[in-house]
Amino acid sequence: MVSNFYVEFGADANGVTSLQRVPVMYGDPSRQAAQILRNNSENTLNTVPAMAVYITALSYDQTRLRDPSLVQSMQIRQREFDPVTGTYGENQGEAYTVERLMPSPYKLTLKMDIWTSNTEQKLQLIEQLSALFNPALEVQSTDNYIDWTSLSYAIMTEMTWTSRNIPTSGEEPIDISSMTFELPIWLSTSVKVKKMGVIQTVITNFQDLQSLQSLGQQIVSVLNYGVLMTSGTNSFTPYYTLKLLKPQDIVTNNDIELDVNTTVKNAWSNLLDEYGKFISGSSQIRLSQPNGSEIIGTVATHPTDPGLLLYTPFPDTLPANTLPPINAIIDPHTVDVNSYLASPNTGTQYLIINSIGSFSNSQGAVGWRGHDGQDLVANENDIIRYNGTHWSVIFDSQTVNVLNYVTNLTTGIQYKWQNNSWTKSYDGVYRAGEWMLSI
Residue 396: inside a domain: yes
Residue 19: inside a domain: yes
pLDDT single digits (tens) 256-288:
444 567 677 888 887 776 666 777 888 888 888
pLDDT at res. 361:
66
pLDDT single digits (tens) 176-197:
999 999 999 999 988 888 776 5
Residue 305: inside a domain: yes
pTM of the model: 0.46
pLDDT single digits (tens) 34-51:
777 777 877 777 788 999
**Other C-beta atoms lying within 10 Å of the C-beta of residue 23:** 13
pLDDT tier, 236 (very low <50, low <70, confident <90, very high otherwise): low
- pLDDT tops 50 at residue 10: yes
Cα angle at 310 between 304 and 314, to 5 degrees? Answer: 165
pLDDT at res. 82:
77
pLDDT at res. 254:
43
At 303, which CATH number? Answer: 2.40.10
Residue 413: inside a domain: no
Residues 69 and 109 occupy one common structural domain: yes
Q: Compute the average pLDDT of residues 160-179.
A: 76
Q: Compute the average pLDDT of residues 157-168.
A: 80
Cβ contact 325:349 at 8 Å? yes
pLDDT single digits (tens) 394-425:
999 999 999 999 999 888 888 999 888 998 88
Residues 144 and 35 occupy one common structural domain: yes
Q: Compute the average pLDDT of residues 134-140.
A: 90
Residue 206: inside a domain: no
Closest CA to 228 of 438, 424, 404: 424
What range defines the domain where residue 37 resides? 6-187
Residues 228 and 181 occupy one common structural domain: no
What is the tally of structural domains in the chain?
Answer: 3
pLDDT single digits (tens) 48-66:
899 999 999 999 999 999 8
Residues 272 and 359 occupy one common structural domain: no
Residue 205: inside a domain: no
Residue 183: inside a domain: yes
Residues 83 and 123 occupy one common structural domain: yes
Residues 273 and 397 occupy one common structural domain: no
- For residues 301 and 111, give the distance between their C-alpha atoms in angstroms, rounded to a whole number: 61
Residues 292 and 364 occupy one common structural domain: no
At 141, which CATH number? Answer: 3.30.2000.40
pLDDT tier, 432 (very low <50, low <70, confident <90, very high otherwise): confident
Residues 60 and 143 occupy one common structural domain: yes
User: CB within 8 A of 198, min separation 6: which ones?
Assistant: 222, 275, 276, 437, 438, 439
Domain boundary residue, one of 187, 206, 231: 187
Q: What 3 state SS string does the chain have? A: CCCCCEEEECCCCCCCCEEEECCEEECCCCHHHHHHHCCCCCCCCCCCCEEEEEEEEEEECHHHCCCCCCEEEEEEEEEEEECCCCEEEEEEEEEEEEEEECCEEEEEEEEEEEEECCHHHHHHHHHHHHCCCCCEEEEECCCCCCCCCCEEEEEEEEEECCCCCCCCCCCCCCEEEEEEEEEEEEECCCCEEEECCCCCEEEEEEEECCCCEEEEEEEEEHHHCEEEEEEEEECCEEEEEEEEECHHHEEEECCEEEEECCCCCCCHHHHHCCCCCCCCCCCEEEEECCCCCEEEEEEEECCCCCCEEEEEECHHHCCCCCCCCECEEECCCCCCHHHHHCCCCCCCEEEECCCECCCCCCCCCHHHCCCCCCCCCECCCCEEEECCCCEEEEECCCCCCCCEEEEECCCCCEEEEECCEEEECCCEEECCCCEEEEC
Residues 63 and 175 occupy one common structural domain: yes
Amino acid identity of 273?
D
Instruction: For the chain, give the mean pLDDT.
Output: 82
Domain boundary residue, one of 163, 187, 211: 187
Residues 115 and 245 occupy one common structural domain: no
Residue 112: inside a domain: yes
Residues 138 and 254 occupy one common structural domain: no
pLDDT tier, 68 (very low <50, low <70, confident <90, very high otherwise): confident
Residues 227 and 171 occupy one common structural domain: no
